């Protein structure tokens, strides 16, 4: 068999990624959250050698309303997959078939995978698949992607379709006025559609729908365009609706017709009924946001105090013991003083100080992936929409912002799903204010030294500070740089589902891997560099006292800048600069600079900061420019250096102002 290309298309949350993983044996993240798959992903199909499968983003239509729809449509029209596997959520069959009808217009051989059949059956519903498949003229295979049922049958059907592609059928499910308009237009544009390699019927439908990219691509003469507009106008007049509604009506009434006579008898499934009950509370008009805040507080409490806090102490003790053994070993083999210092005071101290936060990161992501996979996060976006609208954003911006609590890099990339340029730019600017997980070690270090008994509150206040700054910035920008309103937000709420253990574990593992990777690359190198700069003076003499070092002379120049924030020690300024390489580096740098274990670090910090200036320092670290990786993502997504630099300039300025306000106001009271 020669190389074949298969495409997986379907609505959001129909189980595309689950099926993709089953078919390719890969580990893409599955989420009960619309908009998780933004880019297309490719994998080899295990059961069909030479077949690659593309997981396309979830969509509802083939009209260019969102970037996902554009990605899908361009892919199918330009890459010409041999077969489209259209995955249909059988518990929502009527709405899902809406996309199926549009895919049929593309005239690419198709197999429908009727997913979630386990839920359909469990709720006592039925679909007469054979009849439905005959009516539509497409093969249909019932499956359950999550339970790996029906997969072999699906593969067999796909293989059969690859081998004997059905002759292109002329899908004709239009009637009356729409039918007349479509056929009249098809007649006019036939040559143009052929020249541009578009299926005729699809091109005609898109013109009726007033689709701008299609009109451009066809290169029609002005005369033809006028005639087409006349045809559409008379159709609108006869039907008394607008052009887009006319086609939507046509598709839905066709679906209704084929689903009649008990062909699809799908009443609300048990899962859907349960979801409605849960939603009465969780998306309640007044209780929705308070409940969300309570849940987040509980998660923070469990993560930082109960579970993660304890594990972290064990981890620290373990690392300390290991480093001690290592140090003894080095002494035994008699390495020179400076090499011993480099390895123990540089590498081990720097990397170790960051490594001990691994348990906290993993546990936090355990909870966040539970929230996401259960379908709750989609509700939060929905509940937050009204609120975000007030600061010039929409519920859609909530997705990137939430990802921002993990890491700004994927968060900034996720802004691609936003359809308006204005919303995108604003979200990219505000997302880094959501405190990312790399900053957790910094909060841990400062609370241990200054607020050991109020850890959870300090943490909550820092997160709120970030959110508050984002809100105020949003208000400011909405009335200055980014005037106007954000685009309306439509998102379907997926049913609540019990998260699959596999998916949650995968998510945690990915985070842990990422964190470890950073600890042993960026932090490793930064620790060595910092150790070097603080151990030698400009004449490369090895020093015992770092106050004469290269780093001290560089840091001192900068340190005065932070006087209004209450700290002028060169080590604090240096740590902030090194934090640009990666935020954890603030901790590793300070650890390397003051040397020693955690108790010694706390004592040393108390000579650098007062509790108030330590808090101003925290505030600054939450808000100032993101790390270099996030900056690169910002530049990539915004496109120009100017905008990217303005963005981080604004962030750093905001950080400075907030830190200064905290210190200057605080000093009046203490
Ligand atoms: P996508 O948005 O289309 O990529 O959908 P996902 O693959 O991320 O799945 C969305 C949700 O549906 C996840 O919670 C899956 O665990 C769940 N899911 C997928 N397939 C099935 C199935 O066959 N049965 C049931 N009950 N749940 C499924
Ligand atoms: Mg997906």
pLDDT in tens, 601-644: 889 999 999 999 999 999 999 999 999 889 988 998 898 999 99
pTM more than 0.85: no
Q: Which of 14, 33, 25, 256 is nearest to 114 (CA)?
A: 14
> What are the distances in angstroms from CA 152 to CA 113, 142, 159, 429?
12, 11, 10, 47
Angle separating helix axes 358-374 and 376-390, nearest 10 degrees: 90
By three-state DSSP, how is residue 108 classified?
coil
Name the closest-CA residue to atom 28, ligand 1: 146
Ligand 1 pocket residue status of 55, Cβ below 6 Å: no
Is pLDDT at 412 greater than 90 in this prediction?
Answer: no
> Considering the chain, what is the average pLDDT of its residues?
87
Ligand 1 pocket residue status of 89, Cβ below 6 Å: no
Mean of pLDDT values over 258-263: 77
Q: Which of 88, 86, 97, 93 is nearest to 6 (CA)?
A: 86
Q: Worst-scoring range by mean pLDDT, 7-21, 107-121, 280-294, 501-515? A: 501-515
**CA-CA distance, 162 to 198, in Å (whole number)?**
21
Ligand 1 pocket residue status of 145, Cβ below 6 Å: yes
**CA-CA distance, 534 to 542, in Å (whole number)?**
9
184-241 pLDDT, tens digit each: 999 999 999 999 989 998 999 999 988 888 888 899 999 999 999 999 999 999 988 8
Angle separating helix axes 358-374 and 308-332, nearest 10 degrees: 150
Position in ligand 1 atom list of the atom nearest CA 497? 14
292 CA distance to ligand 2 centroid (A)?
24
Is pLDDT at 34 greater than 60 in this prediction?
Answer: no
Ligand 1 pocket residue status of 57, Cβ below 6 Å: no
**CA-CA distance, 22 to 146, in Å (whole number)?**
8
Q: How far is CA 564 from the centre of its chain?
A: 37
Q: In what order do the strands lie in the sheet with 140-142?
A: 41-44, 51-55, 4-10, 83-89, 110-115, 140-142
DSSP 8-state secondary structure symbol assigned to residue 175: -
Name the closest-CA residue to atom 13, ligand 1: 32
Position in ligand 1 atom list of the atom nearest CA 143? 23
**CA-CA distance, 323 to 527, in Å (whole number)?**
15
**CA-CA distance, 181 to 191, in Å (whole number)?**
17
Q: Which of 615, 622, 607 is nearest to 663 (CA)?
A: 615
**CA-CA distance, 70 to 238, in Å (whole number)?**
31
> What are the distances in angstroms from CA 566 to CA 21, 251, 444?
53, 66, 20
Ligand 1 pocket residue status of 500, Cβ below 6 Å: yes
466-508 pLDDT, tens digit each: 999 999 999 999 889 888 777 666 667 788 988 888 888 888 8
Ligand 1 pocket residue status of 28, Cβ below 6 Å: no
Q: How far is CA 315 from the centre of its chain?
A: 30
Ligand 1 pocket residue status of 283, Cβ below 6 Å: no
Ligand 1 pocket residue status of 121, Cβ below 6 Å: no
Q: Choose the residue to mutate in 18, 22, 144 for probing ligand 1, maximizing ligand atoms within 8 Å of C-beta.
A: 18
Position in ligand 1 atom list of the atom nearest CA 87? 3
Q: Choose the residue to mutate in 9, 11, 13, 27 for probing ligand 1, maximizing ligand atoms within 8 Å of C-beta.
A: 13
Q: Tokens 């040559």 identify what position?
A: 191
**CA-CA distance, 234 to 390, in Å (whole number)?**
41
Q: Which of 48, 51, 53, 70 is nearest to 61 (CA)?
A: 70
431-478 pLDDT, tens digit each: 999 998 889 999 989 998 999 888 888 988 999 999 999 999 999 998
Surface-to-core class of residue 301, CB atoms within 10 Å of its CB (0-12 exposed, 13-18 middle, 19+ buried): middle
Task: Write down the pLDDT at residue 387.
Answer: 83
> What are the distances in angstroms from CA 426 to CA 359, 436, 443, 537, 556?
33, 18, 27, 44, 35
HSE on the CB side for 468, CA within 13 Å?
A: 10
369-393 pLDDT, tens digit each: 898 889 898 888 888 888 888 888 8
Task: Write down the pLDDT at residue 490.
Answer: 65
**CA-CA distance, 81 to 338, in Å (whole number)?**
61
What backbone torsions phi and psi does residue 182 show, to the nearest 5 degrees? -60, -45
382 CA distance to ligand 1 centroid (A)?
20
Ligand 1 pocket residue status of 497, Cβ below 6 Å: yes
Question: Across 156-313, where does the E strand assignment appear?
Answer: 264-265
By three-state DSSP, how is residue 87 classified?
strand
Q: How confident is the model at residue 406 (pLDDT cuts 50, 70, 90)?
A: confident
Q: How confident is the model at residue 125 (pLDDT cuts 50, 70, 90)?
A: confident
Contact 250, 174 (CB under 8 A): yes
Residue 3, token pair as written in the block: 């190389």
Task: Write down the pLDDT at residue 350.
Answer: 86
Mean of pLDDT values over 24-31: 72
Is pLDDT at 62 greater than 70 in this prediction?
Answer: no
Task: Write down the pLDDT at residue 472.
Answer: 94
Mean of pLDDT values over 553-569: 93
Is pLDDT at 172 greater than 70 in this prediction?
Answer: no
**Other C-beta atoms lying within 10 Å of the C-beta of residue 577:** 15
**CA-CA distance, 384 to 396, in Å (whole number)?**
9
Beta bridge partners of 443: none
**CA-CA distance, 13 to 89, in Å (whole number)?**
8
Task: Write down the pLDDT at residue 88.
Answer: 96
Ligand 1 pocket residue status of 346, Cβ below 6 Å: no
End-to-end Cα distance, the chain? 78
DSSP 8-state secondary structure symbol assigned to residue 174: -
Mean of pLDDT values over 159-177: 80
**CA-CA distance, 421 to 487, in Å (whole number)?**
10
- The H-assigned helical ranges of 25-138 are 67-79, 93-105, 117-122, 129-136
**CA-CA distance, 260 to 616, in Å (whole number)?**
66
Taking the CA of 501 as reference, the closest ligand is 1
Ligand 1 pocket residue status of 13, Cβ below 6 Å: yes
Name the closest-CA residue to atom 15, ligand 1: 15
Helices and strands per DSSP (H, E), number in the chain: 32, 8
Ligand 1 pocket residue status of 58, Cβ below 6 Å: yes
Taking the CA of 151 as reference, the closest ligand is 1
Residue 163, token pair as written in the block: 């081998």
Q: What single string gives the DSSP state of each residue in 393-420?
A: --HHHHHHHHHHTT-HHHHHHHGGG--S
- The H-assigned helical ranges of 479-523 are 501-518
Mean of pLDDT values over 537-565: 89
Name the closest-CA residue to atom 24, ligand 1: 116
Q: Choose the residue to mutate in 145, 148, 275, 504 for probing ligand 1, maximizing ligand atoms within 8 Å of C-beta.
A: 145
18 CA distance to ligand 1 centroid (A)?
6
Contact 17, 27 (CB under 8 A): no
- Number of residues that make up the chain: 670
> What are the distances in angstroms from CA 50 to CA 3, 55, 149?
5, 16, 23
Name the closest-CA residue to atom 17, ligand 1: 15
Mean of pLDDT values over 337-364: 87
Give every CB contact of residue 92 below 8 A, 6+ residues apart in sequence: 11, 14, 266
Q: Choose the residue to mutate in 115, 146, 271 for probing ligand 1, maximizing ligand atoms within 8 Å of C-beta.
A: 146
Ligand 1 pocket residue status of 31, Cβ below 6 Å: yes
Mean of pLDDT values over 506-517: 84
Surface-to-core class of residue 564, CB atoms within 10 Å of its CB (0-12 exposed, 13-18 middle, 19+ buried): middle
Task: Write down the pLDDT at residue 36.
Answer: 47
Beta bridge partners of 88: 114
Buried b (16+ CB within 10 A) or exposed e, 358-394: bbbbbbbbbbbbbbbbbbbbbbbbbbbbeebbebbbb
Q: Which of 112, 115, 90, 98 is nearest to 15 (CA)?
A: 115
Position in ligand 1 atom list of the atom nearest CA 21? 7
Q: Which of 643, 637, 488, 634 is nearest to 66 (CA)?
A: 488
Q: How confident is the model at residue 150 (pLDDT cuts 50, 70, 90)?
A: very high
Is pLDDT at 31 greater than 60 in this prediction?
Answer: no
Is pLDDT at 156 greater than 60 in this prediction?
Answer: yes
């Amino acid at each position: 068999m020669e190389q074949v290309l298969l495409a997986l298309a379907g609505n959001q949350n129909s189980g595309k990624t689950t099926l993709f993983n089953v078919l390719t044996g890969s580990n893409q993240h599955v989420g009960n959250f619309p908009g998780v798959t933004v880019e297309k992903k490719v994998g080899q199909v295990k059961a069909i050698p030479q077949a690659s499968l593309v997981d396309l983003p979830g969509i509802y239509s083939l009209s260019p309303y969102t970037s996902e729809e554009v990605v899908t449509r361009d892919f199918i029209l330009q890459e010409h997959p041999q077969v489209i596997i259209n995955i249909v959520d059988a518990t929502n069959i009527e709405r899902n078939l809406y996309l199926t009808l549009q895919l049929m217009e593309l005239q690419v051989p198709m197999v429908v995978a009727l997913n979630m059949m386990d839920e359909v059956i469990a709720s006592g519903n039925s679909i007469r698949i054979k009849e439905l498949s005959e009516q539509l003229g497409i093969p249909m295979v019932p499956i359950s992607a999550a339970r790996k049922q029906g997969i072999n049958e699906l593969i067999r059907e796909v293989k059969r379709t690859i081998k004997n592609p059905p002759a292109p059928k002329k899908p004709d499910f239009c009637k009356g006025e729409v039918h007349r308009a479509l056929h009249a237009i098809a007649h006019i544009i036939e040559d143009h559609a052929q020249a541009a390699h578009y299926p005729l019927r699809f091109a005609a439908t898109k013109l009726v729908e007033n689709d701008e990219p299609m009109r451009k691509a066809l290169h029609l003469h002005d005369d033809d365009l006028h005639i087409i507009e006349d045809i559409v106008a008379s159709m609108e007049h006869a039907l008394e609706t607008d052009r887009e509604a006319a086609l939507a009506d046509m598709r839905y009434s066709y679906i209704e017709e084929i689903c009649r006579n008990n062909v699809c008898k799908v009443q609300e499934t048990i899962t859907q009924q349960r979801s409605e009950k849960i939603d009465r509370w969780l998306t309640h008009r007044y209780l929705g946001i308070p409940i969300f805040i309570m849940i987040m507080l509980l998660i923070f409490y469990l993560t930082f105090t109960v579970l993660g806090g304890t594990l972290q102490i064990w981890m620290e003790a373990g690392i300390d013991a290991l480093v001690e053994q290592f140090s003894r070993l080095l002494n035994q083999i008699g390495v020179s003083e400076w090499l011993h210092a480099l390895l123990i005071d540089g590498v081990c101290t720097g990397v170790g100080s960051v490594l001990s936060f691994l348990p906290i990161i993993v546990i936090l992501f355990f909870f966040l992936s539970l929230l996401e996979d259960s379908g709750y996060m989609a509700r939060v976006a929905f509940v937050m929409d009204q609120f975000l609208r007030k600061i010039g954003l929409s519920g859609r911006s909530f997705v990137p912002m939430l990802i921002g609590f993990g890491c700004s890099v994927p968060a900034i990339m996720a802004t691609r799903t936003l359809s308006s340029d204005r919303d995108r730019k604003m979200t990219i600017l505000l997302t880094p204010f959501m405190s990312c997980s790399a900053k957790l070690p910094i909060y841990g270090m400062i609370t241990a030294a200054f607020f050991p008994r109020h850890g959870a509150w300090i943490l909550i206040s820092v997160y709120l500070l970030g959110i508050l700054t984002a809100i105020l910035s949003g208000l400011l920008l909405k009335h200055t740089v980014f005037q106007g309103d954000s685009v309306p937000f439509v998102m379907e709420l997926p049913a609540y589902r019990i998260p699959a253990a596999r998916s949650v574990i995968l998510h945690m593992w990915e985070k842990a891997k990422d964190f470890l990777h950073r600890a042993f690359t960026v932090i490793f190198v930064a620790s060595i560099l910092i150790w070097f700069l603080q151990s030698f003076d400009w004449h490369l003499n090895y020093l015992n006292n770092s106050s004469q070092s290269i780093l001290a002379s560089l840091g001192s120049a900068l340190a005065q800048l932070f006087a209004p924030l209450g700290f002028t020690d060169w080590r604090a300024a240096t740590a902030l600069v090194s934090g640009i390489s990666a935020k954890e580096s603030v901790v590793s740098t300070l650890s390397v600079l003051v040397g020693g274990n955690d108790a010694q670090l706390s004592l040393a910090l108390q000579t650098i900061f007062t509790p108030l200036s330590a808090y101003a320092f925290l505030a600054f670290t939450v808000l100032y420019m993101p790390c270099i990786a996030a900056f690169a993502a910002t530049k990539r997504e915004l496109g120009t250096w100017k905008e990217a630099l303005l963005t981080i300039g604004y962030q750093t300025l905001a950080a400075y102002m907030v830190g200064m306000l905290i210190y200057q106001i605080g000093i009046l009271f203490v």
